[in-house]
Structure 1
Amino acid sequence: MSLKKICLENFTVFEKIEIEFCDGINVFLGDNGTGKTHIMKLLYAACQAAQMKKTAIDFQTKVIKVFRPDESSLLRLVRRGVGASNASVKVSSDKSNLSLLFHSKHKKKIVTTGMDKWEKEFSLLTSTFIPAKEILSHSRNLVQAINAGNVDFDDTYKDIIVAASVDISRGPDNERKKKYLKRLQAITQGRVRIENEEFYLLPTGQSQSKLEFQLVAEGLRKTALLWQLIKNGTLENGSVLFWDEPEANINPQNIPAIVDLLLDLQEDGVQIFIATHDYFLAKYLDARKTKTNTVVYHALYKLNGTGTIQHECGEDFALLKNNSILEQSIDLYKEEVKKVME
């Protein structure tokens, strides 16, 4: 049970594109404005739309809530500059397709298809989206404020607070959890506690001490979030993790540990989607993957002279022809050599 493909036509920056995914780690690369986060938000909205619970939401509404277009109008997500046109989104698994069709000029021509079969397949799926900006340090009453429309955050911020706030079982951790928690705790030098809707870090060896999340470095807060999601069972076999710019504010020394954790999560059955601009994160994934790991790189780039977004994929980071991260690192190397030779 995993996401296999997305097909887009006239949606935001995309004229027409089709991307197939692996069951392991999918890494999106590309310049700003090439739609990396947009693809992850669409996939996340599709996962969330399948949830059979009191807070269930339909695909169309969830797309609006994660993109936050003006006037909550889906029509504003039609690709600009193409005139009145049809837009379409189709997310596929092995067994079902979830489609959303709409038109830039006709508010009533919005059609969602495949929802019943999609819900049946993915109703028990747990999906988590970690935004680039850390939000738990501002968690107190934020969900209520977002629901009331008092603050303007897209649903990925609200949802990650809700996911991290799930009660932790007081029973003993299984060996799988212990493996991850120990490694993450070595980075954060503490564990997470929730009191009165606020998050705290309890420093290792200081049982009577606690630090408000806003007093902890943002990179450590992001790592502590992973600790919490693993501790409360959010990231389990069969779940899907979306993480926008994992490298943001993370100490480069900790990138290898984060990469190892992601590779192990994938091996344990978590499908992962990442958008990154970081050479070290992308290259460490390439260098440290083993035969039991599946990592596919998806390079998004603008076709010269047209601005049309194109897609290239491959399992080898260095062999991508349209690799903006690698190109920039080579340019820097050339500048360093030139300076030495002067």
Structure 2
Amino acid sequence: MSYRIEQLALKNFGKLENFNCDEFSNINLIIGENGTGKTFLLKSLYSAVKSMEEYKRGDDISPIGDILAEKLRWTFQVDKIGDIVSRASDDSLEFKMKLNKSSLSYQFTKSATSRVSTVSTPTNSKEGNSIFIPAKEVLSLFSIILKSRDIDKTFGFDDTYYDLVKALRISPSRGRNFTVFADSRKVVGNVIDGRVDYDENCGKWYYKNKKNQKFSIGATSEGVKKIAIMDRLLANGYLNTDSIIFIDEIESALHPQAVCRFLDMIDSIANDMGIQVFITSHSYFVIKKLCLIALKRENIVKCISLNQDNKTQICDLHDGMPDNSIIDTSIRLYEEEMEEVL
């Protein structure tokens, strides 16, 4: 069985003063208005998962607390990790995550600088390589991100960007690949009408269409670059069945038709291979498409709706769309249009 997150409990984690979920699915959609903590939730999971993957990897003997503190600081870009604690509370930040094969919990106060005061040592490290795909594409910023972290050691691009560009540097493998990955790459190729590759000799990315016309990455659309990132990760062997994928604002820079085909690919990866996926979105098209995917059977798409009052709604999209401002705004605009027409 692939690694998957089963439960999460957060207390005083940034904008998330109190969050609990006792059951996640293969695909997990996180929605909510600006400022409700969607990206914070995604990064809280990612920093914990990546810390567990780095723990005891190879010959590394670093304690989990040191790995975690470093990951939190560079993921959230804070001078001291205590700055992650909710400003409105004087209590400690608490994090508890249960995977099907392990677990991790920790806590620290606002006074914490570079150490996590209390952390549970996982019974075993997590296998696989998880990845976070930010809302902004990284290919045109590739060398800048690497320089800012490898040489300058400065804030600007957090660990979600840095980990991604390191994963993209890996060349595509010529060996046998997962059938679902191969099929997904065909879908990607059709959506972007070509492929994106990296020229190791000059250290630059370029786009080549199906007519073999070559273009610099700067002259390539944002949407093509974003989808091409997934193509590269499917091709170079970085992702496998033990990976967990986090995608922030999946609809960013994509046409609704491309969004739908991208989500079909995510559906195959998640439900045919068992790779868990977490997605944030503001898009009606994303919610509607995932609702259609969820109709196949129960408990394959979970929707987590965050609200300003910290009352979280969690539902199975198989049962229909939850009440949320995205749907409400769509309905209101339709009603306004009908009033004008009639």
Q: TM-score, normalised by structure 1?
A: 0.89
Q: CA deviation at 1:20?
A: 3.0
Match of 2:97 in 1: 91
Any stretches of 5+ residues in structure 1 without a counterpart? 304-308
Identify if the C-alpha distance between structure 1 residues 53 and 133 changes in structure 2 by more than 3 Å, giving closer, same or farther: farther
* 1:58 aligned counterpart, secondary structure: helix
Q: CA deviation at 1:320?
A: 5.2
Alignment partners' CA distance in 1, 2:241 and 2:319: 30
Match of 2:26 in 1: 24
Q: CA deviation at 1:21?
A: 4.0
Q: Could you tell me which of 48, 51, 75 is aligned with 1:66?
A: 75
Note if 1:334 corresponds to 2:335: yes
Moved more, 191-200 or 247-256: 191-200
Equivalent residues in 2 for 1:246-325, closer than 5 Å: 246-267=250-271, 268-289=273-294, 290-291=296-297, 294-303=300-309, 309-316=310-317, 319=320, 321-325=322-326
Poorly superposed stretches of 4+, deviation over 6 Å: 54-57
Identify if the C-alpha distance between structure 1 residues 259 and 21 changes in structure 2 by more than 3 Å, giving closer, same or farther: same
Kindly report the root-mean-square deviation, in angstroms, between the aligned alpha carbons of the 2 structures: 2.2
Identify if the C-alpha distance between structure 1 residues 86 and 109 changes in structure 2 by more than 3 Å, giving closer, same or farther: farther
Q: Give the aligned residue type for 1:132.
A: A
Identity, in percent, stands at 28
Moved more, 141-150 or 224-233: 141-150
Alignment partners' CA distance in 2, 1:295 and 1:333: 27
Does the CA-based 8 Å contact 2:6-2:99 persist in structure 1?
yes
Note if 1:146 corresponds to 2:149: yes
Does the CA-based 8 Å contact 1:59-1:112 persist in structure 2?
no
Q: Number of paired residues?
A: 328
Alignment partners' CA distance in 1, 2:209 and 2:215: 8
Q: Give the aligned residue type for 1:281.
A: V
Note if 1:15 corresponds to 2:20: no
Identify if the C-alpha distance between structure 1 residues 42 and 234 changes in structure 2 by more than 3 Å, giving closer, same or farther: same
Equivalent residues in 2 for 1:118-157, closer than 5 Å: 120-122=124-126, 124-140=127-143, 142-147=145-150, 148-150=152-154, 152-157=156-161
Identify if the C-alpha distance between structure 1 residues 326 and 281 changes in structure 2 by more than 3 Å, giving closer, same or farther: same
Match of 1:243 in 2: 247
Match of 1:2 in 2: 4
Q: Give the aligned residue type for 2:132.
A: F
Does the CA-based 8 Å contact 1:86-1:102 persist in structure 2?
yes
Identify if the C-alpha distance between structure 1 residues 125 and 337 changes in structure 2 by more than 3 Å, giving closer, same or farther: same
Q: Give the aligned residue type for 2:232.
A: Q
Match of 1:203 in 2: 209
